[in-house]
Structure 1
Amino acid sequence: MAKNVVIVESPAKAKTIESYLGKDFLVASSYGHIRDLVKKDKGIEIENHFKPIYKIPEDKKNVVKELKKLAQKADTIWLATDEDREGEAISWHLKEALELSDNKIKRIVFDEITKKAILEAIKNPRGINYNLVNAQQARRVLDRLVGFELSPILWKKIRTKLSAGRVQSVAVRLIVEREREVDAFVPESRFKVVGLFSFTDEQGNPQQLKAELARFLKDEKEVEDFLRKCSTADFVIEDVEKKPFKRSPAAPFTTSTLQQEAARKLRYSVSRTMLIAQKLYEAGYITYMRTDSVNLSDFALDAAEQAIKNDFGNKYHHRRTYQTKSANAQEAHEAIRPTDISRETITASKDEKALYELIWKRAIASQMSDAEIERTTIKIFAKGLNDLFTAKGEVILFDGFLKVYLEDTDEENAENGEEGILPTVKKGLSLKMESITATERFTRPPSRYTEASLVKKLEELGIGRPSTYAPTISTIQKRGYVHKEERQGKEREYKVITLHKNGKLAKEVKTEITGGDKGKLFPTDIAAVVTDFLNKHFPEIMDYQFTARVEEELDEIALGKLEYEEMLKEFYFPFHKKVKVTIDVERPDTERVLGTDPATGLTVSVRLARFGPVAQKTDPKNSGAKPIYARLRKDQKLETITLEEALGLFKLPRVLGEYEGKEVIAAISSFGPYIKHDGKFISIKKQYDPFTITLVEAVHVIDSKRVSDSEKYIKVFDEDPSYQILNGRWGPYLKAGKRNIKLPKDREPTSFTFEECVALANNTEETKGKKKAGKKK
């Protein structure tokens, strides 16, 4: 039995570390947290200094039992959980649950899983940092108190199974408020003017120059007046301005900037990014991925210098140190970087490889020289015009860090002209006008949040910490407050007015698709109702500054500057008093009357029902009459739906006609739109709308479903129809009752007899769902 037992959080990490430590060390895993708050009475003894009451969950009892056995036989227990507050708390829980004495434990931390880092950590053990433990417990207790006291109020006043949280409710508020900004936005029309000019250069070659008017023109009349002046104007180059400037690289990744850039460049969700980063860290490829520091160690700076000079040359290297903007950043940590900066790529899955290469590029680029760029601005003047045309271009004189990496941005509303390489021109050069085109453009509403831009906003406001962003965004989607989806845009007309070189004006009306959104976060109606209720009754909980101030106080606890109990007392007792008062308030009225159905005289309204938003028709003269209901569509909202749109919902279910002597009906259920025929329900694909689908299209859906079903069944046995050989996503398989069993690949699926299938089912061990092993960070 090894004298030294090292306990880490994940088995993947355990294997890597054990290979570095040698025969005197055994590395075991706790599989994340081993204790959690009990559910009874919030799991907190409020009157006893807010003491948390922990228990070992059922799925962790065997883990704890095995770890206890190992601990009893070992001389020293090395607690090697992650170096953040959560990891520190796990080490403390291990000490308590395994009943370890202080003289038997050594706490070690490292921000990368490399042999050098692990051996260095073993040489420099420390004790458990109880300030970090208290900060983690304070966050856990605070979130438990908020969730356990607010959620029952929401169940009572709005709908069951709702939840509230100190950070999640604020995140939902951001998304709801942005959606209301989008709804309230009224686009304004204006015209963007672009001129195409020609000239002959000094070598006698014809050249063209495209330039943009320095301002927008407000309407069609102003456009026509301006173009008429242009038709007789003489255009000349008034000025050619060349300005050198430098572009500097972005800092190495923190958790939030990695999440944002992976979303922009790789299209990864926040949770997917963190899952992949966790794997890279556990495999020893990158440093710890939960950090708000942009620091790089001297070791990393030296390694980056060597790699850059070797790969690109001395002039590409520029040693830089970055200062984290956040006052509460944990500067002892490093930014996220490769553990071996000389390694440009790795052998791993496609996703892991892509994220690693992004991290490598960002880290390397941060230590490279500025890019040197020359920006040219050409100003074009014509007598009689008050406005200048300008053409802008950039020439990269020295690429510097751009050789490796350029950061993306979230900016979607930029309407800058195209920048590229411009022809060589001199001041005073006469230009010939080829055409001037005024294109109608519309102002755009604020952009809805993506997961990445929401992380950025939360970080700007100081809400949450690196470890909280991914679970918060996942939670608000799982709870049904927010959904991420793609929405098709709508067709819109716009005008194009062109002045040709012959002096004639041409007008066109064109169409474009506008308002489409991909991968954006949309709030549901329940999100809006809950946000309004919490804003009204718990404004402090929903206040951005208050939530950020809580984070600052947690940081103070972590630094030993604030007492755990003092912080909780100051928050909890006023909050609890407000909870007791709110129990007696009236339920929010979500009903919105839209008007009267002209065909029936019934009142049409919308409201939030038990299973979601509905439109309803009620008889104003007979309160006892049963209302008629229709579900709202996913892209409709209680706050903005019109009477006409609501009346359209009552057209479902639609009888489309008959097929094979039986009715064909189009409708929508909670599972989405469908066609009903001969007692069967067939889901409609995205290209069909239940409100407009024709009988011909519906018959095509029915026939297509029959074909796919017939292709699915390879063989059904008369001896027992529950035994079937089917075509699946990954090839033919045997369905035996509720079990799915792989078929040998060296046999033709149709050749199996019933007896062979029964034998195969009996001899194949039944696979059970994977047991959840404890919550991982």
Structure 2
Amino acid sequence: MTEKLVIVESPSKAKTINSYLGKEYQVLSSVGHIRDLATSGPGGLGLDVNNNFKPDYQISKGKTKVVNELKKAAKNREVLIATDPDREGEAIAWHIADVLNLDIDQKNRIVFTEITKPAILGAIDKPREIDMDLVHSQEVRRALDRIIGFKLSTLLQKKIKSKSAGRVQSVALKLIVDLEKEILAFIPEEYYEIEAVFEEFKANYIIKANQRIKKDEAMEIVKNSTNPFVIKDIEVKETKRSPKPPFTTSTLQQDANINLNLSGARTMALAQQLYEGIEIDGEITGLITYMRTDSTRLSDIFIKDALNVIKDKYGNDYVGTYHYEKKEGSQDAHEGIRPTSLKLTPKKMEQYLDKYQHRLYERIYNRALASLMSNAIFERTKVIFDANGNLYDVSGVREVFKGFLEVYDDQKTKDVILPKLNVGDKLNASAVNPIRKETQPKSRYTEASLIKEMEKLGIGRPSTYAQTIQTLKSADRNYLTVEKKKLIPTKQGILTVEQLDEFFKDIINVNYTSAMEENLDKVSEGKADDIKLLADFYNAFIPMIDHANINMKKIGPEVLDEACPLCGQPLVLRNGKNGPFIGCSNFPTCRYTRNIEKNEKNEENNII
């Protein structure tokens, strides 16, 4: 019989780790969480609010068999719990330990940030105790989400037919709705730019910063910009472009959305596969480090290996310097996302990966390597012309040294070469044209820009962004539509935010949500009381719920100007698990329904 039991979260991870360990080990999977808050008791919260919010945990649905197998396997054996190295993983580890009656004071927790044989064997040799501060932080987060999710969702379903609300989800929706209202209220303003056309280039009239030219002024400038255009000054300057740091969870999702057209949820699923391991020549190997991180830090071993690879492949001039500065608010628990081995190049791995796995791996690999390469160098030339007292300029750019761009270039800078020009040269423009422009409203959010904004504002955690946006996009919520990657709120989404603004503005807002994240971080560091944090929230939130229950108007389904073809009663707009549909107001007596045609759906969703 094997002497030691290792418990991980996923079956694929169990398979990978099992291949690294000897016969004295058995590796089993909990298949994620094994317990969750009960849905019984007052309000279905699974919390005893009168007894310091004591949680009532129950074995999750469908997990009884898994738990029994773990209990059986753990008898008379040393147990090591190897769940993910984050707060969620720490909480799962504690639940497993509690269910298996393990001694919490014993060192039965192991962590690793890459699934490679050296990393696993190293972790086995360094077990630690379960970090209860991390567990308490996750418990409070789960309790907060349960209270808001159950209480607020129930209220909104009853009053305005909105399917769900959440601590982070509703604030993300508010960002989208607030921006939409700003866009709809925007009044464009006319202004003009002026260009002078030459044989090989065009020059632009120099407008002072924060100024706009009106039509009459533009026409006067055009009239007075007479030939010759005399070169007044030529400025040649060397500029450098630095490589970006390795990916974090947030920047990986942003990059994949922009460059690979992947949703945050799809990106994280692919990254999970790369992390847990791919079979290469009969051996399962993890290709990247842990993909839930807010740090860009790199290990000394990786830095040394990368600098050697860069020197050998590209030469000394391409070797860069490692720069790392901890970002304010970052937990910095793990490295940035990087390949586990630089020997596993994207080219070598292509035969083992599907198209999307390979494209994502290639970006992770190249960005991590490029982060340790030298700057790219450009020569920028700016030429200023004087046309009868009116100043114009044109700029050229030439790449002098590729540097990190040999490996990773997500801006695709193109050379713009100007002809040979000298100060005092006189050129004649073939035309001077006024160009009418209009100020533009802000652009709607894409998944990438919403994730960037959420991170900037401190809303939620990078590991939750993908699921938050996926929930908002789901058809049964009917909060958003997506057109050309833009997130557009529906009438239901706008109504939901308006009601939350009216009755819950002190809690469902950016500042409160961001402050809560900071407080949860303090709990995880042992610097804040988890019960007090939960009680303060609950005591402020419940009066708001009670007030809204009395004062929020109940809104029925929208009545359409159309009779039911079966019974003659008015048709109404309803919302189902697959999104909005048209049904009879006489339901359940009459069960007539039909799908919404595209033109009807566009009108309903307020798409402009």
State the TM bucket, normalised to the shorter chain: 0.7 to 0.9
Seen in structure 2, the aligned counterparts of structure 1 residues 188 and 631 have a Cα distance that, compared at 3 Å, is farther
Separation of aligned partners in 2, 1:669 and 1:193: 54
| 2: CA distance, partners of 1:537 / 1:586 | 8
Matched, 1:4 2:1: no
Q: How far did 1:180 drift?
A: 0.6
CA–CA distance in structure 1, aligned partners of residues 489 and 510 of structure 2? 18
1:210 to partner: Cα distance: 1.9
CA distance, structure 2, for counterparts of residue 288 and residue 221 of structure 1? 60
Deviation (angstroms), 1:166: 0.6
Per-residue CA deviation, residues 131-164 of structure 1 (Å, 9 max, x unaligned), is: 00001001000111111111222123212x6211
SS in 1 for 2:252: helix
The 10-residue stretch of structure 1 (85-94 or 538-547) with the greater mean CA deviation from structure 2: 538-547
Instruction: Look up the match of 2:22.
Output: 22
Q: 1:525 to 1:280 in 2, by over 3 A?
A: same
Contact 1:196–1:210, Cα closer than 8 Å, also in 2: yes
Summarize the alignment of residues 711-726 of structure 1 with structure 2, pairs less than 5 Å apart: none
Structure (1/2) with the larger strand percentage: 1
2:70: which partner in 1?
Answer: 67
- Identify the match of residue 156 of structure 2 among 147, 150, 154: 154
Name the structure 2 match of 1:645.
none
Which of 378, 383, 389 does residue 373 from structure 1 map onto? 378
Give the RMSD, CA atoms, in angstroms: 2.6
Q: For residues 103 and 579 of structure 1, do their structure 2 counterparts lie closer, same or farther at Cα, with a shift above 3 Å needed?
A: closer
Between the aligned partners of 1:671 and 1:25, the Cα distance in structure 2 is 57
> What secondary structure does 1:59 align onto?
coil
Offset at residue 436 of structure 1 (A): 2.5
The Cα shift of 1:6 comes to 0.5
Q: Distance in 2 between matches of 1:46 and 1:165?
A: 19
Unaligned runs of 5+ in 1: 199-207, 410-416, 487-517, 589-607, 619-625, 633-667, 675-683, 687-777
Q: Is 1:442 aligned to 2:438, yes or no?
A: yes
Q: Is the alpha carbon distance of 1:103 and 1:536 closer, same or farther for their aligned partners in structure 2, counting shifts above 3 Å?
A: closer
Alpha-carbon shift at residue 423 of structure 1 (Å): 1.5
**Deviation readout 1:707-756 (Å, 9 max, x if unpaired):** xxxxxxxxxxxxxxxxxxxxxxxxxxxxxxxxxxxxxxxxxxxxxxxxxx
Counterpart position of 1:177: 178
Q: In 2 relative to 1, CA 217–326 (structure 1 residues): closer, same or farther, beyond 3 Å? A: closer
2:392 pairs with one of 384, 389, 392: 389
Paired AA for residue 561 in structure 1: K
Which whole-Å CA distance do the structure 2 matches of 1:277 and 1:325 have between them?
A: 23
CA-CA distance at 1:342 after TM superposition: 3.3
Say yes or no: does 1:429 pair with 2:429.
no
**TM-score w.r.t. length of structure 1:** 0.69
- The answer to whether 1:314 aligns with 2:280 is no
Which of these residues, 98, 101, 120, is aligned with residue 99 of structure 1? Answer: 101
Q: CA deviation at 1:669?
A: 4.7
2:225 is the alignment partner of 1:227 = no
Q: Residue 375 and residue 38 in structure 1: after superposition, are their counterparts in 2 closer, same or farther (change >3 A)?
A: same
Q: CA deviation at 1:23?
A: 0.9
Q: Are 1:236 and 1:380, in contact at CA under 8 Å, matched by a contact in 2?
A: yes
Question: What SS is found at the alignment partner of 2:378?
Answer: strand
**Cα distance change on mapping 1:348 and 1:586 into 2, 3 Å:** closer
Is the CA contact 2:227–2:427 (under 8 Å) kept in the aligned structure 1?
Answer: no
Distance in 2 (alpha carbons) for counterparts of 1:403 and 1:418 = 14
Q: Measure, in 1, the Cα distance between the counterparts of 2:126 and 2:531.
A: 32
- Alpha-carbon distance in structure 2 between the residues aligned to 1:418 and 1:335: 29
Distance 1:673 1:464, change over 3 A: closer
> C-alpha displacement at 1:105, in angstroms?
6.1
Shift in CA distance, 63/455, structure 1 to aligned 2, threshold 3 Å:
same
- 1:463-502 matches, within 5 Å, as 463-478=459-474, 479-486=476-483
Q: Secondary structure at the match of 1:142?
A: helix
Does the 8 Å contact 1:43/1:54 carry over to 2? Answer: yes
What's the secondary structure of 2:196's corresponding residue? strand
Q: 1:279 aligns with which of 273, 276, 279?
A: 273
The yes-or-no answer on 1:531 pairing with 2:532 is: no
Structure 1 residue 617 displacement after superposition: 9.8
- Whichever residue aligns with residue 176 of structure 2, its letter is I
Q: Is the 8 A contact 2:196 2:429 kept in 1?
A: yes
Please give the per-residue CA displacement for 1:303-353, whole angstroms capped at 9, x wherever unaligned: 1111111111111111213213232x2223100000012332122111010
Following superposition, the deviation at residue 536 of structure 1 comes to: 1.3
1:403 corresponding residue in structure 2: 406
How far the C-alpha of 1:218 sits from its partner, in A, is: 4.0
Equivalent residue number for residue 231 of structure 2: 237
Cα distance, 1:361 vs. partner? 1.2
Aligned AA for 1:401?
A: F
Larger RCO, structures 1/2 (Cα 8 Å, 6+ apart):
2
Tell me, in whole angstroms, the C-alpha distance in 2 between the residues paired with 1:456 and 1:442. Answer: 27
Q: Give, in whole Å, the separation in 2 of the partners of 1:288 and 1:454.
A: 23
Structure 1 residue 670 corresponds to structure 2 residue 595: yes
Question: What SS does structure 2 have at the residue aligned with 1:584?
Answer: helix
Given candidates 75, 80, 84, the residue that maps to 1:78 is 80
Cα distance in 1, alignment partners of residues 188 and 146 from structure 2 = 44
The alignment partner of 1:396 has SS state of strand
The one-letter amino acid paired with 1:587 is K
**Cα offset, 1:403, TM superposition:** 1.5
In the TM superposition, residue 434 of structure 1 has moved relative to its aligned partner by 1.7
The equivalent of 1:579 in structure 2 is: 545
Which letter does structure 2 place at the counterpart of 1:227? V
How far residue 480 of structure 1 moved from its aligned partner, in angstroms, is 2.3
d(CA) in 2 for partners of 1:312, 1:609: 67
Corresponding residue number in structure 1 for 2:362: 357
Cα displacement (A) at 1:614: 5.6
Deviates more, 1:421-430 or 1:432-441: 432-441
Q: What TM-score, normalized by structure 2, do the two folds share? A: 0.87
Task: Indicate the percent of aligned positions where both proteins have the same amino acid.
Answer: 43
Distance 1:356 1:15 in 2: 21
User: Paired residue for 1:124?
Assistant: 126
* Largest Rg, 1 or 2: 1
